[in-house]
A and B are shown apart, each in its own frame.
Chain A
Amino acid sequence: MSPGKELPREIRPISRILVANRGEIAVRVIRSCRELGIGTVAVCSEVDRHALHAELADVTVTIGPAEPGESYLRMDRILEVARETDADAIHPGYGFLAENAAFARACAEAGIIFIGPSAEVIEQMGEKTAARAIMEKAGVPVVPGALLPEPDADGRYPADEVLAVCEKVGYPVMVKAAFGGGGKGMRLVETPEEVVRACEGASREARGAFGNGTVYVEKFIETPRHVEFQIFGDSHGNQVHLFERECSIQRRHQKIIEETPSPALTPELRAQMGQAAVAAARAVSYQGAGTVEFLLGPGGDFYFLEMNTRLQVEHPVTELVTGTDLVRTQIRVAEGHPLPWKQEDLSTRGHAIECRIYAEDPANGFMPSLGEILLMNEPGGPGVRIDSGIRQGDEVSMYYDPMIAKLSLHGEDREAAIDRAVTALKDYAILGVTTNVEYLIAILQEAAFAEGRLHTGFLDEHMPDWESGRSVDGDLALAVAAVAEHDRRSSGSGSGPGNGSSPAVSASTPWRYLGRFRLAGLD
């Protein structure tokens, strides 16, 4: 402690953290705790007793049956366990209770540090219209939109006023029901000529569907990208951003591949968006790790979408390019320490990509695939990071998110990171459940992906009817299956992987090749 340095007034050292989550994120948090010399308490459901997170923690308490509502979402049980185990802080991870204002409030009332922003901020940002109003006031761009004037008794709109409103919003516009959803009462309008009729039609449809014909217009963003900024704040009034993540590769709003830097941002645009993200954080005096999501139009126009008041699934790519540890910083900030960086200290190096490995079948409607992981080989090497909560022999159960792992790659530039991702995926052997590994490789190998031409409709545009290319190496697979079966039977034990004859790799002198033969049945 140097006497000249201003010491933070209120530091509450944390000695034990309860991790109110499961899977890879619980494992991730436990690792940072161990590095900081902080004790860990895991909570788990009955089916998770032998899950990795439950085995890694210093203390593990089973809090209920497998259904999340009876275990991982049980605030009362989790707080009870925290008290019983003398945990002075709770890390919620993402999902489950991470953005639950009532839980954050209950922690505060129990005198337990909730590692995240305040209950008030969680509440404000959770309510989308309130969040939009706060951001607009703070000067953060939001998707331009306006309510339309009332139609007359016959449902006819005053053309001049409607045209003036739409002109201000800017074409193309989307006419939307103010009290609806699900595509009803929605019209896409490209030119002023169609707009009055579209408003009248949307209003009629909205009245029929929702009992209220009020409509509004919003600027329609064509082929937008999803670009989000990592933000961080402390209790000393500091707020910074840690650059962007592009998450445009998504299916039904489920992100699949994320990367940073975004291939779409110029240094000027990055600075502009970063400033907006920090303004958003300042507007609510944000503390802890958060994310400001933007829609980015093809013309470089960007709009606030929402703020996520938690650690994001895809945080590893930010850690890789900025050289930071976001979970460690979350804990330090929660203790009352100031942020370890000022904005000008932060920079990025190279390019990082995250691929989410899911237990699902992309060739079969993305059906979840459940069962035991019979075999798992995690790739390795420089620039390869794996965040996983599942091991060989573990069960992928029906109760939880089917994400098996996050594979994050760091390379000197985007091309190197993509090459690294494809190579690592080709070594990511998972047998027993069907995964999206082959699908991920196909996305990474799309020409449009290599060129960085991404948008949120990318998968629909480029891979609408993707099918597995199982036949390509069917011949080789058959040959090795036969060889392995011979080995299995002659070793007598019928044993699983890892047993049997010793590897004799070095004895490979006479090179002989398996020719490329094709079997009709495999085509």
Chain B
Amino acid sequence: MLLNFRCLDEMISVEVNREGEDWCLAIEGRDVPLQAFKEQGGSWLVDTHQGRRRLWVATRGDQRLVFCDGKVHVLDLPDPELADDDELESVGGGLFAAMPGKVVKVLVGKGDRVTSGQAVIILESMKMETELAAAVDGTVAAVHVEDGQLVGQGDALVDIEADPEDESE
């Protein structure tokens, strides 16, 4: 089974094969033998040079969350069937709620011109306000929320159509 993880913009391919409790991994072509045992409750026991370790794994959409020795590792595992889809490009300039919260104020309207870094929306979570800024220069294509509205994690807030690349530069 070939898995393509994304860590900090870099793709890392991992080939995984299983023989009982023995796992053969090839990470970027390098062979890595591994003994890992699955437990109840989402944890795995792994034997390493430092002895036996326990890690916990959970799935959230395309993310794999791994807890190991007090640290949490977040790995992206884009679904191959959705990858390279143009859809990702078209929402490239859009804004999403990073956490559930309340929309304090929408600062733009449909059709407005925005520049990269310009504040577009103010969100509040746990009494803290956060300003979300446009990541690109462009035009507001759609506003999905209004002032005072409660939003969930990952909800689309504002779509921004990025300006076409300026060829003359």
A interface with B by C-beta (< 8 Å): 367-371, 374-375, 377, 397-399, 402, 425-432, 434-435, 437-438, 441, 468-470, 472-490, 496-498, 500-501, 503-505, 507-508, 510-517, 519-522
Q: Are B57 and A481 in contact (CB under 8 A)?
A: yes
Q: Are A483 and B27 in contact (CB under 8 A)?
A: no
In the complex, identify which listed stretch (B2-10, B86-94, B105-113, B158-166) lies at the interface while the others stay far away. B2-10
Q: Are A485 and B27 in contact (CB under 8 A)?
A: no
Q: Say which residue of B32, B53, B70 sits within 8 Å of A437 (CB atoms).
A: B70
* Docked CA distance A398–B65 (Å): 22
Q: How far is the CB of B8 from chain A (nearest CB, A)?
A: 6
Is residue B40 within 8 Å, beta carbon to beta carbon, of the partner chain? yes
Query: Which residues of chain A come closer than 8 Å to B69, judged between CB atoms?
Result: 426, 473
Q: Say which residue of B27, B54, B58 sits within 8 Å of A479 (CB atoms).
A: B27
Q: Say which residue of A468, A482, A488, A510 sits within 8 Å of B59 (CB atoms).
A: A488
> What 1/0 mask marks residues of chain B from 128 to 139 whose CB sits below 8 Å from any chain A CB?
101000000000
Q: Are B64 and A521 in contact (CB under 8 A)?
A: no
Ranked 9 nearest A-B pairs via Cβ: A497-B42, A521-B10, A477-B73, A429-B67, A429-B56, A368-B126, A431-B58, A477-B66, A484-B57
Query: Which residues of chain B come closer than 8 Å to A522, judged between CB atoms?
Result: 7-8
Instruction: Find the A residue at minimum CB distance from B66.
Output: A477
Q: How far is the CB of B138 from chain A (nearest CB, A)?
A: 27
Beyond known contacts A368-B125, A481-B66: 8 more, CB 8 A cutoff: A374-B65, A377-B42, A474-B73, A483-B44, A485-B1, A503-B39, A504-B38, A508-B37
Instruction: Find the A residue at minimum CB distance from B5.
Output: A478
Interface residue tally of chain B, by bracket?
35 or more
> What 1/0 mask marks residues of chain B from 5 to 41 whose CB sits below 8 Å from any chain A CB?
1011010101010101111010110101111111111
Query: Which residues of chain A come closer than 8 Å to B68, judged between CB atoms?
Result: 473, 476-477, 480
- Which residue among A370, A377, A510, A516 has the maximum number of chain B CB atoms within 10 Å of its CB? A370
- Which residue among B20, B39, B55 has the maximum number of chain A CB atoms within 10 Å of its CB? B55
Q: Are B48 and A513 in contact (CB under 8 A)?
A: yes
Instruction: Find the B residue at minimum CB distance from A469.
Output: B71
Query: Which residues of chain A come closer than 8 Å to B41, judged between CB atoms?
Result: 375, 377, 497-498
Query: Which residues of chain B come closer than 8 Å to A485, judged between CB atoms?
Result: 1, 3, 16, 64, 77
Count contacts between A and B, CB distance < 8 Å: 224
Q: Are B125 and A515 in contact (CB under 8 A)?
A: no
Q: Are A370 and B101 in contact (CB under 8 A)?
A: yes
Q: Are B126 and A514 in contact (CB under 8 A)?
A: no
Instruction: Find the A residue at minimum CB distance from B126.
Output: A368
Query: Which residues of chain A come closer than 8 Å to B40, judged between CB atoms?
Result: 497-498, 503
Q: Are B42 and A426 in contact (CB under 8 A)?
A: no
Instruction: Find the B residue at minimum CB distance from A520.
Output: B10
Q: Are B47 and A431 in contact (CB under 8 A)?
A: no
With A370-B125, A482-B14, A521-B7 as known contacts, state yes or no: A496 contacts B100, CB within 8 Å.
no
Q: Say which residue of B21, B59, B102 sits within 8 Å of A508 (CB atoms).
A: B21
Q: How far is the CB of A518 from chain B (nearest CB, A)?
A: 11
Q: Are A503 and B1 in contact (CB under 8 A)?
A: no
Q: Are A511 and B47 in contact (CB under 8 A)?
A: yes
Q: How far is the CB of B54 from chain A (nearest CB, A)?
A: 7
* Docked CA distance A430–B56 (Å): 9
Q: How far is the CB of A404 from chain B (nearest CB, A)?
A: 13
Query: Which residues of chain B come closer than 8 Å to A511, judged between CB atoms?
Result: 35, 47
Q: Say which residue of A370, A429, A479 sits within 8 Å of B34 (CB atoms).
A: A479
Instruction: Find the B residue at minimum CB distance from A66.
Output: B150
Q: How far is the CB of A228 from chain B (nearest CB, A)?
A: 26
Query: Which residues of chain A come closer than 8 Å to B45, judged between CB atoms?
Result: 505, 508
* Docked CA distance A367–B99 (Å): 10
* Docked CA distance A472–B12 (Å): 17
* Docked CA distance A484–B46 (Å): 12
Query: Which residues of chain B come closer than 8 Å to A488, judged between CB atoms?
Result: 59
Is residue B168 within 8 Å, beta carbon to beta carbon, of the partner chain? no
Q: Are A497 and B58 in contact (CB under 8 A)?
A: yes
Instruction: Find the A residue at minimum CB distance from B50.
Output: A516
Q: Are A473 and B73 in contact (CB under 8 A)?
A: yes
Q: Are A484 and B34 in contact (CB under 8 A)?
A: no
Q: Are B55 and A486 in contact (CB under 8 A)?
A: no
Q: Are B48 and A478 in contact (CB under 8 A)?
A: no
Q: Say which residue of A368, A430, A503, A508 sits within 8 Å of B128 (CB atoms).
A: A368
Instruction: Find the A residue at minimum CB distance from B77.
Output: A485
Query: Which residues of chain B come closer than 8 Å to A515, judged between CB atoms?
Result: 32, 49
Instruction: Find the B residue at minimum CB distance from A442.
Output: B70
Is residue B143 within 8 Å, beta carbon to beta carbon, of the partner chain? no
Q: Say which residue of B18, B73, B100 sits within 8 Å of A486 (CB atoms).
A: B18
Q: Are B70 and A514 in contact (CB under 8 A)?
A: no
Instruction: Find the B residue at minimum CB distance from A503.
Output: B39
Is residue B43 within 8 Å, beta carbon to beta carbon, of the partner chain? yes
Q: Say which residue of B10, B21, B124, B125 sits within 8 Å of A504 (CB atoms).
A: B21
* Docked CA distance A298–B34 (Å): 53
* Docked CA distance A513–B32 (Å): 9
Query: Which residues of chain B come closer than 8 Å to A487, judged between CB atoms?
Result: 18, 38
Q: How far is the CB of A78 from chain B (nearest CB, A)?
A: 23
* Docked CA distance A508–B34 (Å): 12
